Amino acid sequence: MRALLDTHAFLWWIGNDPRMSTRAREIIADDGNEIVLSAVSAWEIAIKAGLVRFAMRGDIAAFVNSHVTANGFEVLPLLIDHALRVASLPDHHRDPFDRALVAQAQVEGLALLTADRAISHYSVKILW
């Protein structure tokens, strides 16, 4: 199975946050699954760390890259097809990062690991 991590799912996984579902933990921990982190999530983390929305000490790039490597996650760049797909999405969600992740999941045929209920209104497979 190939699954795209929502930004909070990435942060909850590496932080062992109790808000992450057992099913999501099992999916990520299964070596038979391909878990993907989008460049969109790295961008969101960088933006929100700069706005002090969550505490982050040290170098953001080193933080994200070290966790991607340690967990064996694949990195998905933001492609023009992904960006353009956002224009065709219904306005169920206002967050541009989440809309970009939905577009990437649709274009790439990925399930989306997310606890965000608003995303379930889109035509994308949700795992949680």
Q: Which tokens is 116 given? A: 């965000």
Q: Which residue has the tokens 């921990």?
A: 29
Q: How does pLDDT run across 16-65, given as a tens digit for each residue?
A: 999 999 999 999 999 999 999 999 999 999 988 877 666 666 789 999 99
What's the pTM? Answer: 0.92
- Report how far residue 3's alpha carbon sits from residue 124's, in angstroms, rounded to the nearest whole number: 11
At position 107, the amino acid (one-letter code) is V
122: domain CATH number is 3.40.50.1010
Query: With contact defined as beta carbons under 8 Å apart, do 28 and 72 qualify?
Result: no
Nearest to 23 by CA among 37, 7, 12: 12
Angle (CA) 78 115 95, round 5°: 45
Q: Which tokens is 73 given? A: 């996650």
Q: Tell me how many domains the chain contains.
A: 1
* Residue 71 domain boundaries: 2-127
Query: With contact defined as beta carbons under 8 Å apart, do 116 and 44 qualify?
Result: no
Q: Which tokens is 80 given? A: 């023009």
Q: How does pLDDT run across 70-109, given as a tens digit for each residue?
A: 999 999 999 999 999 999 999 887 899 999 999 999 999 9
At residue 1, does pLDDT exceed 80? yes
